[in-house]
Structure formats: structure tokens, C-alpha cells
Amino acid sequence: MSRKGDDGQKLSAIVVVENKDHKEDMNYAICYLRRLLKFIGVWFLAKRNRQKRDVLIAVPLLIIATLLPAFVMVPCILHALLREKNGTVKMKLLAPIGLRMANYVKYVAMINRVDALKYCFHHVETDWIMASSLSDRRIMKEKAALGRRITLLCIGVFYTSTLSYNCLLPLWRGSKINEFNQTIRPVVYPGYDILVDPQKSPTYEIIFCTTILAACSTYTVISSSCSLAATFVTHACGQIEIIISRLNTLFDNAEDNAEILNDRVSFVIQRHVRVLRMTEKIEELLKEICLLEVVSSTLIMCLLGYYFMMEWENADIAAMFPYFLVLTSLALNVFIFCQIGENLTEQCADVGKAIYDVDWYNLPGRTGLALILVIAMANIPRKLTAGGMIDLSLASFGAIIKTSAVYFNMLRERDA
């Protein structure tokens, strides 16, 4: 049975029997990622058979996800420019403003790359359809489970940090009485009093709830970008493992059957080409997002470390804990991107090693020559990069942390 692939080529050598459970398998692989993308409206644009109804649902979600960060940024910017004279307090506003500006640009980049996103989803679905053997499904299920665990980890850490800072911290501090014997309820970010009276009801409740929604929207974009990398890269790594498993059984029960050997070599080559095309699309989808992640996280982690030390000196444990959580979440996010990039590079290189380890020189006729091209392509490392400028790896993660620490020391020396 042959089937048209997403690149228009026939996959007759690959697809013998379709996976009847591919819809359930696909849902298992992307269910959490799909929910995140639905919250910010991107999923409805990335659907393969997008209809007018999907666009009508996406538009208000896109508008809401775009305007919510401005609910925090605008008052903070106005407060910093028009009222605040203390340089230290102004610096404390840089992190929330910078984080939301970076995620706004990241969100726009995600929408701008919706065609690449659609391609990756279709590619994953096609691979699940072609996963007819139990061994292939087992490998893909293991990688899908890894992507799900990374996504759940991101959601848990990111939402815990944002809720602790935007919800629990104000409740922990509670209301205060000012010199005019007025009850002042805590507001997470300053500047709202320039536009309205934030202490009146229901204005205070609206500001408090909208601030939490704005923070959740921001961290949904962060979680979505991390989940995209985890889901697609782990899937690509699963396809590479399938190729390697087929190479390890290349000569099983087929030493003298040239037709079977040719079919198996054809499978390896076609699957390898598909993996390379997917990695190119993953890089196209994520390169701007990764660049923004690296730059913004480096600077914001520096600022958060500075805020943490300030609260440490003031012995304000209630403020230290949320800063520590947000700092940890950003560091974890960068680490996940770098670790995923490292895994992708290593797995792609493993294909060439696996081919070289098999007795390819015993293949009949010129069949073995085809594998030489695969070895040559495997020697070209496939990487996840930040804007095509920084290769994401564990070494890059170390460099990012060191850079953030250098900036932190500069801020500390400024106050010394």
C-alpha cells in the first residue's frame, strides 16, 4: 500500500500497513501542547484543514493574548517614566517589563511561523500513521512520553512561579494602614493609580485578577515554546532510533535476498531524508523563539538574582521565595532548550555511526553505495540554534549562566 507523504513523494517502501490507532497515538503525543496552543489561539491557525470557524475562534484569543501583557507593561512603564525617581525601584520594574516584551515578540514569531508549525504537526501525524510495527510504536511512544513529561514539568514550574509572585505574595503581605489611616491593599505592579484608583472596589479586584491572567498568558507562551521544542525534537529523535533499530536488523533472515535488502535500505534512506526535512522545519520554527529565550533569560535571570539579594539583605522571606521560583523557572527553561538541542545533535550523528557499524560492504551490487551518502549527511550536525547564531547545547547553557552571573556582579559592584 502506498501513501503520499507530506513532501509529495510516494512512501510505498515504508508504508505496508497503516497504524489503525494513529489518531489515539497522535493525541497522546500532542495533547498537552495542543491545549497550551489553544489558550493563545495558535492551534486554530495551525490546524491542517483550517476552516472559517477556526479563524473566528482564533482572532479573539489572539487579541486577548496580545493585550493582556500590555495590562502590566503600560502601568509599569508610565510609573517608571513619570513618577519613580529611585533608580533601584526603576530597576525592579525592568524584569516584568522585559519578560513581557520578550514574550510578546516570541508570540508574534510563533504566529509568523505558523506554516512551519503546521508542517511539523502534519509530519508527526504521518509518522504515526506509518508506525505499523509494534517496535516502531514502542519507540515513538517512549519519545512521546518524554515530550509529555517535559511539557508537564514546564507547566508545573512556570505556573507555580507566576502564581506565587502574582497571587500568593500580595496575599501574604496583606493590607497596610497608611499615615492617613487608610487601608492600602497590595498591588503587584505600580502605576495603575495614574489611570484609576486601584484601591476602590471592584477596581482592585479587576486589577488583581487581570494581573494574574496576564501572568498566566505570558507563561503560557513560555510553556508553549518549550513544549514545541520538546514534542518535535523528541519525535525526531524517535524516528532516528527507528532508523538505527532497522540498521541493526538489516541482515536478519535476508543475507541472500537482494530484494528484501534493497527494501530495507530504501526504508532507511527515505526515513533519514524525512527526519532531516523535519529538523530543518523545527529549526525554522524555533530559531527566533530560541534567540529571544536566550537573550531575555540571560538578562532577566541577572535582574532576578539582583532582586533576590536585595530581599535577602532586607530579610524579606516572603519576597525572596517568588523571586527564587521565577529565577529557577527561567533557568530550567533555558536548560531544556539546550538539553534538547544537545540530544538532537547527538542522535543525528548516531545514524552515521550505526551505518558504519553494520556490514554495509556486504550488501549486493551498488546498494551499499547509497548508505555512504547517508553517512556523509549524518556527518553534517543538525542543531537547534538561537537565531542561527548560537548552537544550543549544554556548553551553551553554561555560557548563558556565566554571562548572567557576570551581569549580576556588575549590578552588585554598582551598589557597592
Of 172, 140, 121, whose CA–CA distance to 318 is shortest? 172
Distance separating alpha carbons of residues 200 and 185, to the nearest angstrom:
10
Angle between helices 394-415 and 317-357 (to 10 degrees): 160
Distance separating alpha carbons of residues 279 and 273, to the nearest angstrom:
10
Residue matched to cell numbers 508570540: 107
Give 3-state DSSP helix, strand, coil % of the chain, rounded to 5.
75, 0, 20
Q: What is the pLDDT of residue 108?
A: 92
Q: Cα separations (Å) of 58 from 52, 55, 114, 224, 253?
A: 10, 5, 13, 16, 53
Average pLDDT of span 371-398: 85
- Please give the share of the chain, as a percent, with pLDDT higher than 90: 37
In this prediction, residue 416 has a pLDDT band, given cuts at 50, 70 and 90, of low
Q: Of residues 9 and 334, which shows the higher confidence score?
A: 334
Q: What is the pLDDT of residue 13?
A: 39
Residues 6 or more apart in contact with residue 212 via CB below 8 angstroms: 163, 166, 167
Residue matched to cell numbers 537547534: 384
Domain coordinates in residue numbering, the chain: 22-415
Residue-wise pLDDT for 113-157, tens only, equals 999 999 999 999 999 998 878 888 999 999 999 999 999 999 999
In this prediction, residue 32 has a pLDDT band, given cuts at 50, 70 and 90, of very high
Q: Please check whether residue 410 is in contact with residue 303, taking contact to mean a CB–CB distance below 8 angstroms.
A: no
Number of Cβ within 10 Å of residue 315's Cβ equals 8
Q: What is the pLDDT of residue 254?
A: 67
Amino acid at 227: S
In this prediction, residue 283 has a pLDDT band, given cuts at 50, 70 and 90, of very high
Q: What is the pLDDT of residue 163?
A: 84
Residue-wise pLDDT for 69-100, tens only, equals 899 899 999 988 888 888 878 888 888 888 88
Q: Please check whether residue 69 is in contact with residue 103, taking contact to mean a CB–CB distance below 8 angstroms.
A: yes
Q: Is the pLDDT of residue 14 over 70?
A: no
Distance separating alpha carbons of residues 219 and 333, to the nearest angstrom:
11
Q: Is the pLDDT of residue 1 over 70?
A: no
Q: What is the pLDDT of residue 356?
A: 81
**What's the mean per-residue pLDDT of the chain?**
85
Residue matched to cell numbers 487601608: 183
Provide the CA 334 distance to its chain's centre, in angstroms: 9
8-state DSSP, 176: E
Q: Is the pLDDT of residue 304 over 80?
A: yes
Distance separating alpha carbons of residues 1 and 25, to the nearest angstrom:
21
Distance separating alpha carbons of residues 396 and 399, to the nearest angstrom:
5
In this prediction, residue 255 has a pLDDT band, given cuts at 50, 70 and 90, of low
Distance separating alpha carbons of residues 90 and 130, to the nearest angstrom:
56
In this prediction, residue 12 has a pLDDT band, given cuts at 50, 70 and 90, of very low
- Lowest mean pLDDT: which of 56-60, 85-89, 293-297? 85-89
Average pLDDT of span 384-413: 87
Q: What is the pLDDT of residue 415?
A: 64
Alpha helices in 358-393 (DSSP H): 367-378
Q: Is the pLDDT of residue 3 over 80?
A: no
Q: What is the pLDDT of residue 199?
A: 84
Q: What is the pLDDT of residue 234?
A: 95
- Lowest mean pLDDT: which of 164-173, 290-299, 330-339? 164-173
Provide the CA 84 distance to its chain's centre, in angstroms: 36
8-state DSSP, 414: H
Tell me the residue ranges of DSSP E strands in 259-412.
385-386, 390-391
- Lowest mean pLDDT: which of 15-19, 140-144, 175-179, 322-326? 15-19
Residue-wise pLDDT for 166-193, tens only, equals 887 777 777 777 666 677 788 888 888 8
Average pLDDT of span 321-334: 88
Q: Is the pLDDT of residue 201 over 90?
A: no
Average pLDDT of span 263-273: 87
Q: What is the per-residue burial (b if ≥16 Cβ within 10 Å, else e) of 62-91?
A: beebbebbebbbebbebbbeeebeeeeeeb
Distance separating alpha carbons of residues 101 and 98, to the nearest angstrom:
5
The CA-based angle 341-134-235, given to 5 degrees, is 15
